[in-house]
Amino acid sequence: MTLLLGALTLGLIMSLIALGVYVSFRIFGLADITVDGSLTFGAAVTAVLIVVHGVNPALATAAGFAAGVVAGCATGLLQTRFRIDPLLSGILVMTALYSVNLRVMGRSNIPFLGATTLATWSERLARRGLGAGDVALFGWSVNGQDLALLGLIAAIVALAAGALYWFFRTDIGTAMRASGDNAQMIRALGANVEAYRVVGLALSNGLVGLAGSLWAQYQSFADAQMGIGMIVWGLASVIIGQALTGAPSLGYAIVGTVLGSVLFRLLVAIALGFGLNPNDLKLITALFVFVALVLPSALARLPWDRQRWARRSEPAEVPT
């Protein structure tokens, strides 16, 4: 049960990465690898603020979000102001962030030890509300502190997902979605597509920075390596989420992305429980994303699906 609770908590934390990747990948159609750096950046900033400067953990978490925003802005500006290829922009910022993170932390790993974090806050809350021992939940006995932390993380994720949904339904958010869908059209309707790209990537990486901040507090340390491969994790979650909900509508997509991340984490926890070598995890994640990307067109090429094949072979676009 502790294992399940842990997987749920980590899955929810990582769903913030998935939401960030949803913004860059689904809305702007970019694979933004800045994520790998901004996750660590968020964690590093939070860790230093809490451990070295003794800052209030809520503030330090917000600073982790802000760190991600800064990273996203950098990538956005490289793409728009300096017209660098989107993939390369992400690689440049990610690489630069590696050094920045080491500079910020001063070493490659900062343990929180006894420092006050959001995790200690939720522990205190649990002790006051639920008592010191275990809590009975659906017949299982569960550690109250773990449960409180899960509740806190779930609340933060719900808040972030709700805010994201609300934002993308406003005038500015709708225009941002359109700028990824058809830039020519929304430019003709008076939107500064480049500015939207920067704001969108800032938002995306802000969410990832927040995830890094929460993750570090959850595992009680920040590490320079923790961001590696996180873009692929996010992609996998987005893809699973889409398979779960199917609908392209915004609300379903956002909920699906969160569920996708949690489900993927649960699967991974189970596989690890059955003796999967943790070193193979990133290989498996990458293979999963590969299969998910290739499968739809491979299926369409099978002979039993003639109708779909016929539809695919039609000219996709009217010649101009």
Partner 1 sequence: MIRLREVEKTFHAGTVNEVRALRRVSLEISDAAFVVVLGTNGSGKSTLLNALAGSFPLDAGTIELDGSDVTRWPEHRRARFIGRVFQNPFSGTAPAMSIAENFALAMRRGRRRGLGWALPRSLRRELAERVCSLKMGLEDRLDTAIGTLSGGQRQALTLLMATWLRPRLLLLDEHTAALDPKSADQVIRLTEEIVTRDRLTTLMVTHSMQQAVNLGERIVMMHRGAVVHDAAGPDKHRLRVDDLLARFEDIRRRELLDPTAAELLAAAYV
Closest distance of CB 203 from partner 1, Å? 13
Closest distance of CB 195 from partner 1, Å? 9
Closest distance of CB 190 from partner 1, Å? 3
Which residues is 142 bridged to in the sheet? 135
Q: Which is nearer to partner 1, 188 or 310 (CB)?
A: 188
Could you tell me which of 153, 167, 107 has the C-alpha nearest to residue 6? 153
3-state SS assignment for residue 259? helix
3-state SS assignment for residue 134? strand
Q: Which is nearer to partner 1, 29 or 106 (CB)?
A: 29
Q: Which is nearer to partner 1, 187 or 282 (CB)?
A: 187
Residue with tokens 């790993």: 109
Q: Taking phi first (over 0 means left), then psi (-120 to 50 degrees means alpha), and beta for anything else, what does residue 174 get? A: alpha
User: Packing angle between helix 230-245 and helix 250-273, nearest 10 degrees?
Assistant: 120
Q: Which is nearer to partner 1, 58 or 172 (CB)?
A: 172
Closest distance of CB 134 from partner 1, Å? 45
Residue with tokens 């889409």: 242
Closest distance of CB 320 from partner 1, Å? 5
Residue with tokens 């006051």: 128
Q: Which is nearer to partner 1, 108 or 170 (CB)?
A: 170
Please give the residue ranges that form the binding site for partner 1 (CB under 8 A): 167, 169-175, 177-178, 181-182, 184-193, 248, 317-320
CB atoms within 10 A of CB 97: 26
